[in-house]
Structure 1
């Protein structure tokens, strides 16, 4: 046991304070053992939900745009295929029109033929009817503009003829037949147009018939 009368040195002070520090440390450990540690979780960004919603909206917009483009492409492709099928014979049909013209000229010039040529004329008429029927089967129809108002979309005026008995601008003569394929003009009809009659639409003018006048009776 240290002598109380002996002088205190740093070594003796440290030895005296050690039990006190050990007791304080023990009390702190007991206190720490009664407190539950706080569990902290990483907080999600406040705008994460808005960011995800914006990404979903952007993807939805892209999907709708792509779907609309594909639908337009499908419709355009279908229309092009239909047009290709419908108008594939345009060049071939145009070449056949000269055959129809020659048959018509033969019939028009056979008016003075005698009875001996009658079977030949009937054969030419039958051939012309079969040709026109075949053309009509493939969508080619002959225009019948005589008596119709002149339509620059289907007719080509070759001359004007004074005729006050019909409205002004009425087709009074067909010089060369015109043809259409589907709803497209294959060849315009060369026509003569009346001049000097009442204006179309006036009270004196006769009621106008449908334009172009497609002949499908052949």
Structure 2
């Protein structure tokens, strides 16, 4: 026998009589199987925890944005109230100290304004927020839509006029503010 044959014989695990393996081999096999089951269980547990987090986030989104369609429809109602208010203001200019008091339409105008305010307050509780735009503000394409560029004394790229208000529901833009922007000279 040469040295290689002796080394190979030394490396083979000892066996019991009758071809049975040593108890240490069986123990290693069981430990390996245990570790596989434990790793699988830990993965399943982590998957379940992630599923719960994802489901909670989805439910929060449903609660937040579930009324989005209704809120969007109510924005046009607010627009109609704004038109009615501006029309009554044009028809019945505000009284000055020298003029006669406004006629009986004042009660109707005040009622329209109060109803509009009540609707807006209700929508605010549901997460609706008006996008604030002022003349002279820089144009922000993430919250505004430029419908026209006009010549103006304002610096280029600044707001000249808000044509239609914009609204967001929490962090989602429902309608961008439609504005006129000063153009480059």
**TM-score, normalised with respect to structure 2:** 0.76
Instruction: Flag the structure with higher helix content.
Output: 2
Cα drift, residue 73 of structure 1: 0.5
Q: Deviations over 1:80-135 (max 9, x none)?
A: 11111111111111111111001111122223333112222222221221111111
Residue-by-residue CA offset, 1:176-214 (whole Å, 9 max, x unaligned): 1111111111112211112238xxxxxxxxxxxxxxxxx
Q: Is the 8 A contact 1:164 1:195 kept in 2?
A: no
TM-superposed CA distance for 1:46, in Å, is: 4.4
**TM-superposed deviation, 1:43:** 6.0
* Root mean square deviation, CA, Å: 2.2
Structure 2: give runs of 5+ residues left out of the alignment: 1-16, 93-101
Matched, 1:66 2:54: no
Question: Is the partner of 2:89 in helix, strand or coil?
Answer: coil
SS of the residue 1:124 aligns to: helix
Q: Is the 8 A contact 2:159 2:181 kept in 1?
A: yes
Dislocated runs of 4+, deviation >6 Å: none
CA distance in 2, matches of 1:112, 1:71: 61
Equivalent residue number for residue 111 of structure 1: 89
Map 1:49-60 onto structure 2 (within 5 A). Answer: 49-60=27-38
Unaligned runs of 5+ in 1: 1-39, 198-218
In 2, the alpha carbon distance for the partners of 1:50 and 1:159 equals 77
Match of 1:153 in 2: 142
CA distance in 2, matches of 1:192, 1:84: 35
For residues 54 and 68 of structure 1, the distance between their equivalents in structure 2, rounded to whole angstroms, comes to 21
Using the TM superposition, name which of 153-162 and 66-75 deviates more. Answer: 153-162
Number of the residue aligned with 1:129: 117
Do the aligned residues in 2 keep the contact of 1:171 with 1:194 (CA within 8 Å)?
yes
Relative distance call for 1:100 and 1:43 in structure 2 (3 A) is closer
- Aligned residue for 2:154, secondary structure, equals coil
How far did 1:44 drift? 2.3
1:12-40: CA deviation from partner (whole Å, max 9, x where unpaired)? xxxxxxxxxxxxxxxxxxxxxxxxxxxx9
Counterpart position of 2:22: 44
Q: Report the number of matched residues.
A: 157
